[in-house]
């Protein structure tokens, strides 16, 4: 449930530098209101992933979709989620007489695996263990080309200009003097892409560890403290120690915990953080409007 300090779940992935867009994961009640107090622009939202169909991850969706129209959003939006999502969205829009000014693509998830891939990103999903069908998402930035070795080109008297741009892309170029040079021969080591894993509600499970393997950042629910382990298991939720175990065993660099029970108010949330840090030192508790920068690997 929401509290005075924390709203229900919605997470934004800022991809303005990479593709000029935002991706959202989940859309709990009040998400569009929260967005008004954040840098996120609905019109620049490209994808929205729904982990599962419980209300605290879903009830903000009809309002967000229609507000995107009112705010001038006219680019396509793709919505991913479990079976039943299409019925929920279409019913809400039809009954309320809503009209969208943009194309909405609905993708219902039937299988685990890759659900999106282009030249720069890949998204993989796997099932988690919760009371209803629930997914986690592994968002992979593909490796970037290495730096162009300008000095090496100068040694070969290759004139600066558009040619350098072609070589940076790895293309083969023929010079005016007849020489042919290959871009791959003039690039430094590739820059590894970053990996962000955002899970829906889940108890400790293999699906979560599978998605989180080697991730730069793992976003994991931590509904309860460790003294509520039996309660967490009974309701298919995780404790802060469960989240930390998953991060540690999967080799994830950073753990960010979300989805805290409303019983933890004020300083009591620090108990969850302390428990996680005993297992995985690089652990954090997300707060509303908090952001975490993921630097490129060098």
Q: State the binding site for Zn(2+).
A: 52, 54, 56-57, 130, 201, 259
Q: How many CB atoms lie within 10 A of CB 3?
A: 13
Annotated binding site: 52, 54, 56-57, 130, 201, 259
Instruction: Please check whether residue 238 is in contact with residue 261, taking contact to mean a CB–CB distance below 8 angstroms.
Output: no
Q: Which of 26, 56, 216, 242 is catalytic?
A: 56
Q: How many CB atoms lie within 10 A of CB 161?
A: 8
Q: How far is CA 226 from CA 96, 231, 238, in A?
A: 43, 10, 9
Instruction: Please check whether residue 220 is in contact with residue 199, taking contact to mean a CB–CB distance below 8 angstroms.
Output: yes
Q: Where are the alpha helices (DSSP H) in 84-203?
A: 85-95, 150-155, 162-168
56 catalytic, yes or no?
A: yes
220-240: string of b/e by CB count within 10 Å (b at 16+)? Answer: bbbbbbbebbeebbeebbbbb
> Residue 13's beta-bridge partner residues?
23
Residues serving a catalytic function are 56
């Amino acid at each position: 449930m929401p509290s005075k300090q924390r709203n229900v779940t919605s997470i934004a992935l800022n991809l303005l530098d990479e593709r000029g867009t935002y991706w959202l994961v989940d859309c709990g009640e009040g998400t569009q209101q929260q967005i008004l107090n954040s840098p996120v622009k609905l019109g620049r939202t490209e994808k929205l992933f729904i982990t599962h169909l419980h209300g605290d991850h879903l009830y903000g969706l009809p309002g967000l979709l229609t507000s995107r129209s009112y705010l001038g959003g006219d680019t396509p939006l793709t919505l991913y989620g479990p079976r039943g999502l299409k019925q929920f969205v279409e019913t809400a829009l039809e009954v309320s007489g809503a009209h969208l000014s943009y194309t909405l693509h609905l993708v219902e998830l039937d299988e685990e695996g890759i659900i999106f891939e282009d030249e720069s990103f890949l998204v993989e999903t796997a099932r988690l263990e919760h009371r209803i069908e629930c997914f986690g998402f592994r968002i992979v930035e593909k490796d970037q080309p290495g730096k162009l070795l300008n000095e090496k080109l100068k040694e070969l008297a290759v004139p600066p200009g558009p040619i350098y741009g072609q070589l940076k892309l790895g293309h083969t170029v023929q010079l005016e003097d007849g020489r042919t040079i290959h871009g791959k021969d003039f690039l430094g080591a590739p820059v590894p892409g970053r990996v962000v894993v955002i899970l829906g509600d889940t108890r400790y499970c293999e699906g979560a560890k599978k998605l989180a393997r080697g991730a730069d950042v793992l976003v994991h629910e931590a509904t309860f403290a460790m003294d509520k382990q039996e309660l967490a298991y009974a309701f298919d939720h995780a404790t802060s120690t469960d989240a930390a175990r998953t991060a540690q065993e999967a080799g994830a660099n950073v753990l960010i915990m979300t989805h805290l029970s409303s019983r933890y108010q004020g300083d009591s949330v620090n108990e969850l953080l302390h428990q996680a840090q005993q297992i995985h030192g690089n652990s954090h508790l997300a707060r509303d409007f908090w952001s975490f920068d993921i630097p490129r690997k060098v």
